[in-house]
Chains A and B, each alone.
Chain A
């Protein structure tokens, strides 16, 4: 029983980070109906930016802020340079093009920063809290991660539900034609979707890097988990992405704890298959069915 609690506690922060990554995928899907497989490549790239800033200035926080700004910019660049021109021809082409962007970003990062894994130490203590005579697998850094995710998700939900821009973005996602007829500049909302997704992904990258090391391909595995969470959540539901992001993190922690962490991707695949078999439209989706 104590093992179970340990595993769950250990899964909370990675679950929160997966939630952010899933959120980024959902934001892009909602704005352009494209699954951005380069999302975590973008996050990897901006995390390297954060690492560089941190090495130059000694400030983790400054690194995070610059990475967020870089995430916005990279998101907008990818949208204009790749997605918009390719999507004019073909939507599935745009999805495949995001794989191209992923490979290009990984190659670029390897050229700039080298292919060897780099340490990205946590800014604060990452050893577990001690209580009741034992050490729990939950550290001050985990708390920082959790707090950052909660603040970001709350900020996003305020933007989406309480502001005109948020309303315009939601309307553009649900019904672009009605949005345009109402006067919303839908194309700008799409760009904004990619920008915000880039920012959210950048935060996820900076937060997740200390849990392992940073290399051009070190985030690839998280794409599997984030994609699983986003799809199960319904791909267009922000709430679903967060809920199933955390859920996926916890399941993976349990699987890794009771068996071996190398089984985690397999379990993600099983979850995905079960979801597509029994609830293909996703748990929180607005649509009645999705072709599989």
Chain B
């Protein structure tokens, strides 16, 4: 039985809800009052994750933390297609590269959002500039991908956990005052992610319209 320690407005928690929705996994949610209750720093939570960070996922007796690590775990354990985190060494390296970039997006775009929305004392201009730097590179990568027939962040012709890991804080960037007008390829990729079968929303992210097959 899977249990997710979850905060609705957290993009990192949403990464796991999103992958579990796509993989059609059943799971329980234990809500954690991250804001304003700061329960992720409470004694009971620190016993689960001494780093005091969400999300935490329990699978029977196994306790895991870090959204990127848990994405890899869920894909390896439950994705029968083997597509979301393929076994190929080169692709594994590629995905982990993007998991690391996802963490950079968290420390920039998400930091700006926490500062403006949730009163965190972070350096907003610095966080915003950092996010723009990453988005520029992502836009370039995705733009050339479109020319080369690659729709997703990594080489395989289907999405991987890399796309799931990067998606939430790209989509929530406007809450941190980071517009995406200058990143048209990034905006198109976000449409594609939102059209993955089994996609689910979180507060702050709207679904994309259906892309009907052209009649």
Q: Do A and B bind each other?
A: no
Residues of B within 8 A of A (CB): none
Residues of A within 8 A of B (CB): none
